[in-house]
Structure 1
Amino acid sequence: MFPKNAWYVACTPDEIADKPLGRKICNEPIVFYRGQGGEVAALEDFCPHRGAPLSLGKVIDGKLVCGYHGLEMGCDGKTVAMPGQRVRGFPAIRSYPVVERHGFIWVWPGDAAQADPAAIHPLEWANHPEWAFGGGLYHIACDYRLMIDNLMDLTHETYVHSTSIGQKEIDEVPCTTRTEGDEVVTSRFMNNIIAPPFWQMALRANGLPDDQPVDRWQICRFSPPSHVLIEVGVALAGQGGFEAPASVKASSVVVDFITPETETSMWYFWGMARRFKVGDPALTASIREGQGKIFGEDLEMLERQQQNLLAWPDRNLLKLNIDAGGVQSRKVLERLIAAEQGTTAEVV
């Protein structure tokens, strides 16, 4: 289950640069494209003539033209024209609130009357000259909440990502979790340790030694409907850790926008925003490649986990203190979904 009255990342601008894009969001088949003037439009991916997917068509002069019989759609979901036919009386198809912001296309799959662009998650690093960003997209066959669990409990790094960002200290140092309104924050601070391979690379890239002890931090922030932003980094030991000056640390924000496709599949928009060597595109590409491999390691685990959960639906999952971030995030989601549906949230 997922909230529908919320803003989700639907795609990136390059995905609709030259043709329409069909993508299912929260079980809603939607076609995204640029209309007249370059504005983004989002319509039900259904031609009112014969039911063909409009995403198989093309955009001509800002109008979406069905690839089956040439019916033209306006950005408001109303039929405009069709060669040799009178079609303006066709019933309108559904249009969705859509906004282009922060380098992403955001869609509201729920009640359009409640869609307020001001509610789109603020991103301090987006389009900011002091930040660099690189990322990508994975389609994963699992419940989106499993990815939230994964990101709010980083102890799995020791095992799933043992050759890149994992290290035994993650297991040894306890995390703390707190809830602030609809936001859940899980934090872990590891002092006087040796940086793992990924962070050794980041230290070198920032002109810092990679063989000295460091203080490392992980601060995971969940906010509904399904965003997880993680402040991560290392600083030379004894220099203040998270609060250390930029000259002695390498830090960044891991960006995770998790968009449900169905109850058992999702679109995962991942990336990393950093504040060091921001004018180095080669470093951005290197970090994106390394991060892509790291997140790729999660993919098989999550999909196989989903298969197990479907095979044994009556099995109860055990909860430990390390699961607190995911558990609290699910409580927030259950409360929001219950409010949307006019019911009472189930107590976890």
Structure 2
Amino acid sequence: MFPKNTWYVACTSDEIDEKPLSRTICNQTIVFYRSANKRIHALEDFCPHRGAPLSLGFVRGDELVCGYHGLAMGGDGATVEMPGQRVKGFPCIRAYPVVERFGFIWIWPGEASLADEAAIPVLEWADDPNWAYGGGLYHIQCDYRLMIDNLMDLTHETYVHASSIGQPEIEEAAPKTSVDGQEVITSRHMENISAPPFWRAALRGNNLADDVPVDRWQVCRFTPPSHVMIEVGVAHAGYGGYDAPQERKASSIVVDFITPETETSIWYFWGMARNFKPDDEALTDEIRRGQGQIFEEDLEMLESQQRNLSNNPERQLLKLNIDGGGVRARKIIDKILAEESS
């Protein structure tokens, strides 16, 4: 159903403080905690004594202590101690490869020996002072592939997001889809159009006129297992569109990390990275609120779509040219799943 020998975003760094965090990923319930040396650990959320969730316990030094009877677990999954008991012969529980990088906690839910930190995506904007980032998290009841479909075909913006980023010119501009190795790219360019409300606000945020014709672009990039980065923006018309100089455009990268919880639910980490006015925290908050409202508009549609599909598993869905990005992304996922099961 979903690849496991890969890195997923489990949570953001600021979600884990002094308390452990429980999160189900790829049908595996995992507890995350930060030890005294600030290192992140990930264990199966199961106390080997009586099966209580370790996430209901507390952190003591480098150990996670069960809140039921006080069994202390090490970050490697081994039992350490328990008041008045001999427990060091207990079998270990599962410990997961986990890495903190770029403000996210990355988890490898598959075979630990195959985990390669070099395979974590490089987010150039995350450590660059010339960029600003703001984002959030939604818990959505849908198959992770439905969200990939949604992000790789932005035609729906005309209808679902009519009051924010949608406009008729989107469906009038045919998308182009290509595949480069395991990356799927779907792009759409619109010329000499009016900017929709969200992008008018972005133009103003970059001290640009918002009442003039613009060129607009959307370049969606899928990479396994379920990451989608979308280059978006508008530039004053006639200055090169996507390639326009920075002082003539407002552009950003929409960041989408889709982490399966179960077959029909996901953790959706969304955000926007921009390279204009990076020190303007008020602008970052404004964009975050606007983007959060846009993504919230997708929730009802995706969850209702999932209910329909679950209730009608025998129905065959139509495939159109606008579905090219999602279809190709699914083929890559299917190939990975076949390789993992062989």
| Secondary structure of 1:33 counterpart | strand
| Structure-1 residue corresponding to 2:245 | 245
| Structure-2 residue corresponding to 1:119 | 119
| Structure-2 residue corresponding to 1:135 | 135
| Structure-2 residue corresponding to 1:46 | 46
| Structure-1 residue corresponding to 2:7 | 7
CA RMSD of aligned residues (A): 0.5
| Structure-2 residue corresponding to 1:175 | 175
Q: Please tell me the residue identity of whatever aligns with 1:91.
A: P
Q: Please tell me the residue identity of whatever aligns with 1:246.
A: Q
| Structure-2 residue corresponding to 1:199 | 199
Residues 15-60 of structure 1: CA deviation (Å, up to 9, x unaligned): 1112100001101110001124111000011000000011111111
Mapped partners of 1:175, 1:50: distance in 2? 55
Q: Show the 5 A alignment for 1:173-322.
A: 173-322=173-322
Mapped partners of 1:58, 1:301: distance in 2? 39
| Secondary structure of 2:31 counterpart | strand
- Displacement of 1:231 in angstroms is 0.1
Mapped partners of 1:107, 1:86: distance in 2? 32
The answer as to 2:93 corresponding to 1:97 is: no
Q: Please tell me the residue identity of whatever aligns with 1:242.
A: Y
Give the paired residue count.
342
| Structure-2 residue corresponding to 1:337 | 337
- Displacement of 1:303 in angstroms is 0.3
Taking structure 2 as the reference length, the TM-score comes to 0.99
Taking structure 1 as the reference length, the TM-score comes to 0.98
Mapped partners of 1:159, 1:3: distance in 2? 32
- Displacement of 1:314 in angstroms is 0.2
Mapped partners of 1:24, 1:128: distance in 2? 31
The answer as to 2:106 corresponding to 1:106 is: yes
Unaligned stretches of 5+ residues in structure 2: none
- Displacement of 1:62 in angstroms is 2.0
Runs of 4+ off more than 2 Å: none
- Displacement of 1:85 in angstroms is 1.0
Mapped partners of 2:266, 2:55: distance in 1? 19
Percent of residue pairs bearing the same amino acid type: 70
Q: Please tell me the residue identity of whatever aligns with 1:179.
A: V
8 Å CA contact 2:21–2:32 kept in 1: the answer is yes
| Structure-2 residue corresponding to 1:145 | 145
Mapped partners of 1:286, 1:83: distance in 2? 51
| Secondary structure of 1:37 counterpart | coil
The answer as to 2:328 corresponding to 1:328 is: yes
Residues 189-226 of structure 1: CA deviation (Å, up to 9, x unaligned): 00000000000000001010000000000000000000
| Secondary structure of 2:37 counterpart | helix
| Secondary structure of 2:86 counterpart | coil
| Secondary structure of 1:318 counterpart | coil
Q: Please tell me the residue identity of whatever aligns with 1:24.
A: T
Residues 152-206 of structure 1: CA deviation (Å, up to 9, x unaligned): 0000000000000000000100000001100000000000000000000000010
Mapped partners of 1:165, 1:58: distance in 2? 44
Q: Show the 5 A alignment for 1:149-168.
A: 149-168=149-168
Mapped partners of 2:139, 2:18: distance in 1? 21
